[in-house]
Structure 1
Amino acid sequence: MNLNATLYVQFAVFFILAIFTMKFVWPPLMKALDERAERIANGLAAADRGKADLAAAEKRVQAEMAGARDEVQKRIVEAEKRAAQIIDAAKQSAVEEAARIVAAAKADAEQQVTRAREELRGQVASLAVQGAEQILKREVNAAAHADLLSKLSTEL
């Protein structure tokens, strides 16, 4: 065989194979590569959107946290004010109760003092009457009367 003819035949087969590959093999291969590139691009875009969404979510979370902290601080301040009001009310109530107890004790003591004075007056009157009886039963003697009066004063 002739070397030139073989080269021409091989060239023709190669050319036919190249055309067949360009017509039937190359388009599906390029389509698969394009689809893969598109999926990769979509994945990267989704990742970027995800990052942006994450950043936005973090900002919203920070804003919510700040709002929650402010609300907690307000409630703590309100609770402290309420506690102070309750303590003041309890102190005022205790002062009023103490004043009532002191007033009742003073009134009771005053009544007891009055009762004791009345009893003492009754006893003094009784002793005075007894002393007068004893003085009148005896003879009129200054020394004897002085003795009776000193006894009377010791009994008082």
Structure 2
Amino acid sequence: MNLNATILGQAISFVLFVWFCMKYIWPPIILAIETRQKEIKESLTNAKKARDELYILEKKIHQNIIDAKQKASNILNSANKQKVSILEDARNQALEESKKIILNTQSEINIAITHARKNLHKEVVDLSISMAEKIIKKNISKDDNQELLDELVTSLSQVKN
């Protein structure tokens, strides 16, 4: 075989192979590449949109957290104010109750003192009458009379104590 014929045959085969590839193989490959490029471009666009949406959502979440903290702070402040108010009311009510109890106790003490004074007065009167009866029953001398009066004073001083 001749070298020129071989090269010519190879060249024709190569041209036919290139034509066949360009006609039947190259278009589907180009189509696949273009489709893949479109998909990548769309994916990048979607990723950018998703990143932007994520950024917006993060801002909203951050704002919601700030709002929630503010609401919680307001609720705590309100609860503290209510606590102080309730404690103040309870303290005032307790003071009023203690004043009533003190007044009732003082009234009872005054009644007891009055009752004790009446009893003491009655005992003094009874002792005086008793001594007077003894003095009248006995006609006694001045010394005896003085002795009875001393006993009366002693009895009265014992009753006071």
| TM-score (norm: length of structure 2) | 0.90
1:129 equivalenced with 2:129 (yes/no): yes
Instruction: Please give the residue correspondences for 1:68-147 in structure 2 after superposition, counting only pairs within 5 Å.
Output: 68-147=68-147
Q: CA RMSD in A?
A: 1.4
CA distance in 2, matches of 1:9, 1:131: 172
1:148 equivalenced with 2:148 (yes/no): yes
| Relative contact order higher in (CA < 8 Å, ≥ 6 apart) | 2
CA distance in 1, matches of 2:5, 2:126: 172
Q: Offset of 1:140 from its aligned partner? A: 4.7
Q: Offset of 1:3 from its aligned partner? A: 3.7
Find the residue that maps to 2:131 and give its secondary structure. Answer: helix
Aligned to 1:39: 39
Q: How many residues align?
A: 156
Q: Offset of 1:85 from its aligned partner? A: 0.3
Q: Offset of 1:2 from its aligned partner? A: 4.2
Find the residue that maps to 2:54 and give its secondary structure. Answer: helix
Aligned to 2:22: 22
Tell me, which stretches of 5 or more residues in structure 1 are unaligned? Answer: none
Residue identity (%):
29
Aligned to 1:50: 50
Q: Letter of the 1:89 partner, please give it.
A: D
Aligned to 2:60: 60
Find the residue that maps to 1:117 and give its secondary structure. Answer: helix
Deviation >4 Å, runs of 4+: none
Q: Letter of the 2:91 partner, please give it.
A: K
CA distance in 1, matches of 2:120, 2:91: 42
Find the residue that maps to 1:101 and give its secondary structure. Answer: helix
CA distance in 2, matches of 1:89, 1:70: 28
Q: Offset of 1:141 from its aligned partner? A: 2.4
Tell me, which stretches of 5 or more residues in structure 2 are unaligned? Answer: 157-161
Q: Offset of 1:23 from its aligned partner? A: 1.0
Q: Offset of 1:21 from its aligned partner? A: 1.0
CA distance in 2, matches of 1:74, 1:17: 81
Q: Offset of 1:97 from its aligned partner? A: 0.8
Find the residue that maps to 2:136 and give its secondary structure. Answer: helix
Q: Letter of the 2:42 partner, please give it.
A: N
CA distance in 2, matches of 1:50, 1:135: 123
